[in-house]
Amino acid sequence: MKKDFLKVTDFTTEEILDTFKIALDMKADRKKYSEALKGETLALIFEKPSLRTRTTFDVGIQQLGGYSVYLSPAEINLGKRESVYDVAKNLERMVQGIMIRTFAHEIVEDMSKYAKIPIINGLTDYTHPCQAMADFLTLHEVKGEFKGLKLTYVGDGNNVSHSLMLAGARLGVDVTIATPRGYEPNLFAFAEATEAAKQTGAKIEVVHDPKEGVNGADAVYTDVWASMGQEDEAAERRRIFMPYQVNDDLMAAAKEGAIFMHCLPAHRGDEVTDSVIDADYSVVFREAENRLHAQKAVMYQLMHA
């Protein structure tokens, strides 16, 4: 039966942990899996620009012995030049998997519905599951376990916050979202995470005081205040979110030994200061590297016969 990765909760807790084991094995010995997807091809559909997603999927499939085909908006222009249905029905006859980075989450859901091959969500406005996989892989590498951990996300209740809640719920990690009023996470995402958390005992909460949010946090996470497509709101958002900047003072309110995380790209001086992102406790570049290993493991789980 075809399996996709559109949200973190598409994988069970056991499947996520298995994926992490594979990712760490791949990280330790790249050559061990060098023919795991030999001859397989992954289509990379990009409606949004990317550094990490493009590089890690492109390099990742090659390190597994496969190939990639990059498809920019100029080639497809989803829903305009070609319908999602037509793209899905074409590509399922040509490649063995599709990674798509786009705007509306409905696009990846439709692609999944129409295509008979695995679909991987490289980012939508609703969720960013591959990033969360890299984040929690990194968290486990640094802290050695998930049980008893608390991760606090400070900033806009966006797609990254949604995926962190869903991943925390699956893995039993408490997740607190500290955000200004009116910028809370999507209610459906919060409800889905809360429901999933019942199985693991994770606590999922939203607060509006950043210092309250980071109290007891083992990891403090932030993201840009204005995501792609929100550039016209940047000045207003900067005014609203400045009290939520992750700086030395806010990190001092977290648990001793807390790490700093960011999905990148970072707007230094806005959501995070140089003194935090460049500190010894910052793991942002390890997270970026782990995108490669986590995504290779996801591709292996979905595309390996």
The set of catalytic residues is: 101, 128, 131, 223, 263, 291
Integer Cα distance of 186 and 102 in angstroms: 18
Can you tell me which residue has the tokens 């958002």?
Answer: 237
- Tokens describing residue 196: 């999933």
Integer Cα distance of 289 and 209 in angstroms: 31
Closest residue by Cα to residue 102 from 228, 222, 9, 189 = 228
Question: Could you count the other beta carbons within 10 Å of the beta carbon of residue 156?
Answer: 26
| Residue 153 DSSP one-character state | E
Integer Cα distance of 122 and 151 in angstroms: 22
Closest residue by Cα to residue 151 from 225, 193, 209, 202 = 202
- Tokens describing residue 154: 């400070």
Query: Got the DSSP string for 7-58?
Result: SGGGS-HHHHHHHHHHHHHHHH-GGGGTTTTTT-EEEEEESS--SHHHHHHH
Residue 197 has φ and ψ, to the nearest 5°, of -70, -20
Strands (E), 64-135: 67-71, 97-101, 119-123
- Sheet containing strand 119-123, strands side by side: 67-71, 41-46, 97-101, 119-123
